[in-house]
Amino acid sequence: MNTEMLDRLSEQGRGFLGIRYPFICGAMTWVSEPTLVAAVSNAGGFGCLAAGNMPCDLLEKQINETRNLTDKPIGVNLITIAPMYRDHLELVSKLEVPFVIFAGSFPRRSEMRVAKDAGAKVLCFASTHSIAERMIRYGADALILEGMEAGGHVGRVTLAILLQQVLFEISDVPVFVAGGIATGRMCAHLFLMGASGVQLGTRFAIAEESPAHPDFKRAFIRAQARDAVATPQFDSRLPVVAVRALRNDATGDFSKLQLELMDELNRGTITREQAQNRVEEFWMGRLRLAVVDGDITRGSLMAGQSVGLVSGEMKVQEIMDELLADTEAELRRVRDLIC
Ligand SMILES: Cc1cc2nc3c(=O)[nH]c(=O)nc-3n(C[C@H](O)[C@H](O)[C@H](O)COP(=O)(O)O)c2cc1C
């Protein structure tokens, strides 16, 4: 496929990741397992394993399994607020994983150092301009801007704002963008705005190679964009990161959990940290229930608003081909419009 215009616009991002096409499949806990990750990397994109809260021996097995399925670059996504995080960081350093993506909250300078000393390039999320600057000062080699339209744990700002606040202002490192992106036509405009690459989650979650339960995938295919809602925070004494997921019993159960935890906090029977750990355990468990067991009522159907733009299960290669063709076609349309 001729991707001449896309190639020109995405040179920096492709060079940084060492890949053919500037499309990243964002890490998704329980979903981004070796088969999906390798399929994306083998199709010329960039696949990321999700460490989630996996036991270390399982994560090591998954890294090795992925390496057996592809010789192309891959990344490992670490959740800084996961109980196993420290051990995960040591493991990816020991295994010399080439790209480490820090997610959850913002990593410390010393934590980035551990990954970089082991030879990894480090990517961090940035939800404001000042955080972007801090992450670069700490040593981030690239940034990911994820708008609140995204699936999973999300910030409070839309991608449209982050593009103007951060992408347009930062030129020191490659900047990748995510959240609510599902079409090549949209990708074309993000590349024109200066994005080094585009990260998609929801669209790849229902790829044929995704291990997600068929009922999980069917729920995504049926859903509208408005069904993917972000959870509220009830009280500032219990700060919780919002989660965007399809509305179901898990959404209501999370509200009940927050009230219970607030009650325990008021009575002094738990600390804020313990309460936040309970929240994280809730989401990890409920996501597993949906993705692995297919319980789409009680499990968490984490999905971006881009869920309203997906219409069926496709092979990773087909998704990639469609993204490439549509991105290139839109870039040519824009060129012809202007020239
Ligand atoms: C089911 C699911 C699980 C996710 N888990 C993670 C995760 O473990 N780590 C992370 O950094 N992002 C996670 N994300 C976010 C994705 O990596 C990606 O940035 C996001 O899905 C992009 O928005 P989109 O869904 O609109 O494409 C998850 C998203 C989904 C849908």
Same structural domain, 233 and 320: no
Which amino acid makes up residue 122? V
Which of 23, 25, 29 is the best mutation target for the ligand 1 pocket, counting ligand atoms within 8 Å of the beta carbon and taking the most? 29
Q: Which is nearest to 150 in space by CA: 124, 171, 177, 180?
A: 180
- 99 and 40 within one domain: yes
Query: Of 284, 149, 146, 299, which is closest to residue 219 (Cα–Cα)?
Result: 299
CA of 43 to the centre of ligand 1 (A): 20
Q: Does pTM surpass 0.95?
A: yes
Are 294 and 323 in the same domain? no
Distance CA 48, CA 41 (A): 9
Residues 50, 139, single domain; the answer is: yes
The answer to the question of residue 227 being in a domain is yes
76: CATH: 3.20.20.70
The reply to whether 115 and 8 lie within a common domain is yes
117 φψ region: left (φ > 0), alpha (ψ -120 to 50), beta (else): alpha
Q: Taking residues 236-242, what's their average pLDDT?
A: 91
Q: Which of 202, 246, 288 to mutate to test the pocket of ligand 1 (most atoms within 8 A of CB)?
A: 202
Neighbours of 5 (CB within 10 A): 19
* Shared-domain flag, residues 314 and 294: no
**339 within a domain of the structure (yes/no):** no
pLDDT in tens, 30-84: 999 999 999 999 999 999 999 999 999 999 999 999 999 999 999 999 999 888 9
Dist. CA 104–CA 209, nearest whole Å: 25
Segment 9-38 shows an average pLDDT of 98
Do residues 41 and 187 both lie within one domain? yes
pLDDT digits (tens, 9 = 90+) for 145-199: 999 999 999 999 999 999 999 999 999 999 999 999 999 999 999 999 999 999 9
Residues with CB under 6 A from ligand 1: 26-29, 31, 50, 52, 77, 79, 103, 146, 149-152, 178-181, 199-203, 205, 302-304, 306
| Ligand 1 center from residue 308 Cα (angstroms) | 16
Top mutation candidate among 28, 77, 153, 296 for ligand 1, by most atoms within 8 Å of CB? 28
- 68 and 192 housed in the same domain: yes
How many CB atoms within 10 Å of residue 98?
Answer: 16
Q: Look up residue 51 and give its amino acid.
A: A
CA of residue 268 to ligand 1 center, whole Å: 34
Residue nearest to atom 5 of ligand 1 (CA): 28
| 338 domain residue, yes or no | no
Domain check: are 177 and 100 in the same one? yes
Q: Are 166 and 175 in contact (CB under 8 A)?
A: yes
In a domain, 337, yes or no: no
Residue 235 is part of which domain span?
A: 214-305
Is 171 a domain residue? yes
- What residues contact residue 218 under an 8 Å CB cut-off, 6+ apart? 296
| Same domain? 159 vs 134 | yes
Question: What local confidence, expressed as pLDDT, does residue 127 receive?
Answer: 86
Q: Which residues contact 18 (CB under 8 A, 6 or more apart)?
A: 73, 98
Same domain, yes or no, for 89 and 75? yes
Q: How far is CA 194 from the centre of its chain?
A: 20
Is 179 within the bounds of a domain?
yes
What CA–CA distance (Å, rounded) separates 246 from 248? 6
Residue with tokens 């990593």, as numbered in its chain = 107
pLDDT band at 94 (very low <50, low <70, confident <90, very high): very high
Provide the domain count of the chain.
2
| CA-based nearest residue to 209, from 40, 27, 21 | 40
CA of 25 to the centre of ligand 1 (A): 9
User: Does 322 map to a domain?
Assistant: yes
